[in-house]
Amino acid sequence: MTPIIRSTNDKAFAEKLIRQNMSAYYEQLDMRWNTALFDKQWDELDSYELVINASPVGLLCINHDEAAYYIRELQIDQKWQRQGLGTTAIRYTEETAQQSGIRLLRLRVFCINPAIALYERMGFRVRKTEGGTHYMEKRID
């Protein structure tokens, strides 16, 4: 099942999905949701929704500098996880980076997040670990 990936301004959907998916990690790591930080970052990122049957089921937020594209959020509704949507979103980011002439992707992920397996399968490697977070990157050929 291939989703439509389209630009979005639906901040309410994004915040709800992120909070649903990340709440267990935040609790485990004794972290608190920071609405002001979310609002600031939302305005700075290129945000996309993954849509199946006219319903948003995922979120991809990216940005870049001259060196790399950064996946800042990749969230898939729990009912739609493990169906290839994360892989599709990563491939979309790779294609976007390549079209810009950038050959490096980077992301951060909590060390306790099982999505690490997806990122490693997609060719990302841990470059450093700090404060319970892996900093991962992938070269695009």
pLDDT digits (tens, 9 = 90+) for 12-22: 999 999 999 98
Residue 113 lies inside a defined structural domain of this protein: no
* CATH number of 83's domain: 3.40.630.30
Residue 83 lies inside a defined structural domain of this protein: yes
pLDDT surpasses 90 at 6: yes
Residue 25 lies inside a defined structural domain of this protein: yes
Query: Using CA atoms, how far apart are residues 59 and 133, in angstroms rounded to an integer?
Result: 20
Strand pairing partners for 134? 109, 129
Q: What is the pLDDT of residue 16?
A: 95
Are the beta carbons of 60 and 71 closer than 8 angstroms? yes
Task: Lowest mean pLDDT of 1-5, 17-21, 33-37, 84-88, name the range.
Answer: 33-37
Residue 57 lies inside a defined structural domain of this protein: yes
pLDDT surpasses 80 at 108: yes
Residue 118 lies inside a defined structural domain of this protein: no
Domain containing 12 equals 4-105
Name the more confident of 63 and 36.
63
pLDDT surpasses 80 at 1: no
Q: Kindly report the pTM of this predicted structure.
A: 0.93
Q: What is the pLDDT of residue 90?
A: 98
Q: What is the pLDDT of residue 121?
A: 96
Residue 45 lies inside a defined structural domain of this protein: yes
Sheet holding 69-76, edge to edge: 4-7, 46-52, 55-64, 69-76, 104-110, 133-139, 125-130
The pair of structure tokens assigned to 88 is 């599709």
Name the more confident of 66 and 27.
66
The pair of structure tokens assigned to 125 is 């490697």
Residue 135 lies inside a defined structural domain of this protein: no
Domain count, the chain: 1
Residue 62 lies inside a defined structural domain of this protein: yes
